[in-house]
Amino acid sequence: MTATTPTSNRDTATPGGTPALVVVAHGSRDPRALSTVRALLDRVRTLRPALPVRLGHIELNEPLLPDTLAALGGGEAVLVPLLLGRGYHVKRDIPDMAAASPARTRVAAPLGPHPLLVDALHARLTEAGWPTRPAPDHAVVLASAGSRDPESRADTSRTAALLAARLGVPVVPAYASAATPTVPDAVRALTARGHRRIALASCFTAPGRFATQCAAAAPWIASAPLGTHPAMARLLLHRYDETLMTDGAMKRRALATP
């Protein structure tokens, strides 16, 4: 998804004209979330030292996204949501904040679904004790925050399907709020199908109330939030690059049109 605010004649975010990468986090009252996000951005900066990387929150933590964008003035930026599917924040909150800022912005797609996200989920499960060769009675509950938006749930289901293909076992999506099934409901459904080793894959970007709540309902192992896994840093950069390439292709087509 790409949204572009009106352009201006002011300079871009850097002297060389490179648009800034603005990572848009939700925000959390859990202090571990902010420290995790900052550490993830440090990983991104290590991968691409010349790229200006900024942080903006939708709520609860500073810097808030409008303040981050205001500091860019009329410069260019690509806003990459640190969110794992489509929903109200991606569709409305972030584009509205971008449109109200003086910066020239484009909004990237959320991080999921994508194979790099599955890389991180798989790695976190392996760290938690997931076996190299799971037995037929193994299964996974993919726990995420939840949303009333059907496209958000579709994205989570797609991520679950990609993870199931990677692991070779059933993966059932479940939600901490706003959608069903809950984690306990998903566990009961898998148990009724004969699965005895049910792991929980934490589809959260950082520690927080929902991640803790879901992990507590795991009947066996529970993976840690995705956090600073290297695949997450690569995925942020991929969404940034993807947005710039899409925008460039659209401009080329426009110029070629008589």
Whole-number pLDDT of residue 257: 60
Instruction: Give the strand pairing for 104-107 and 76-81.
Output: parallel
Tell me the per-residue pLDDT of 126-156, one tens digit each, with 9 for 90 and over. Answer: 999 999 999 999 999 999 999 999 999 999 9
Tell me the per-residue pLDDT of 157-175, one tens digit each, with 9 for 90 and over. Answer: 999 999 999 999 999 999 9
Whole-number pLDDT of residue 5: 38
Whole-number pLDDT of residue 2: 42
The predicted model gives 219-234 an average pLDDT of 98
Catalytic residues: 26
pLDDT bucket at 17, cuts 50 / 70 / 90: confident
pLDDT bucket at 247, cuts 50 / 70 / 90: confident
The predicted model gives 108-116 an average pLDDT of 98
Whole-number pLDDT of residue 251: 60
Is the N-terminal amide bond of 66 cis, ω within 30° of 0?
Answer: no
One-letter amino acid identity for 99? A
Whole-number pLDDT of residue 7: 33
Tell me the per-residue pLDDT of 18-77, one tens digit each, with 9 for 90 and over. Answer: 999 999 999 999 999 999 999 999 999 999 999 999 999 999 999 999 999 999 999 999
Can you tell me the distance from the alpha carbon of 201 to that of 199, in angstroms, rounded to the nearest whole number? 7
pLDDT bucket at 256, cuts 50 / 70 / 90: low
Pick 251 or 54 by higher pLDDT: 54
Instruction: Tell whether the model's pLDDT for residue 8 goes beyond 70.
Output: no
Tell me the per-residue pLDDT of 195-214, one tens digit each, with 9 for 90 and over. Answer: 999 999 999 999 999 999 99
Whole-number pLDDT of residue 63: 98
The predicted model gives 96-118 an average pLDDT of 97
